[in-house]
Amino acid sequence: IQAARLILERTLPPIKAIEQAQLIPMTGDTLTEQGQSVLAAVAAGVLAPSQGAQLISAMTSLVKITELDELITRITKLEELKNGNA
């Protein structure tokens, strides 16, 4: 039995769990409303909790990137005003 298992382990790749993509309605214009849509989909069983967590994490990253872009723009404008380039 061990020899057969060893042969199978060497010839077949390990089986990995695959999560199916789910289409969920993202209602609302704000990220808060869209995050609530994700949580509602998880609560309704349409979306797996791990998928919901990944979506919320991605939305959080998007917020951080957006904030950084806005800060860079504001700092650039303040520097231009300070230097008299406005």
pLDDT higher than threshold 90 for residue 11: no
Residue 46 burial class via C-beta count within 10 angstroms: exposed 0-12, middle 13-18, buried 19 and up: middle
d(Cα 26, Cα 20) in Å, to the nearest integer? 18
Q: Is the pTM of this model over 0.85?
A: no
- Report d(CA 48, CA 26) in Å as an integer: 16
Residue-wise pLDDT for 59-86, tens only, equals 999 999 999 999 999 999 999 999 887 5
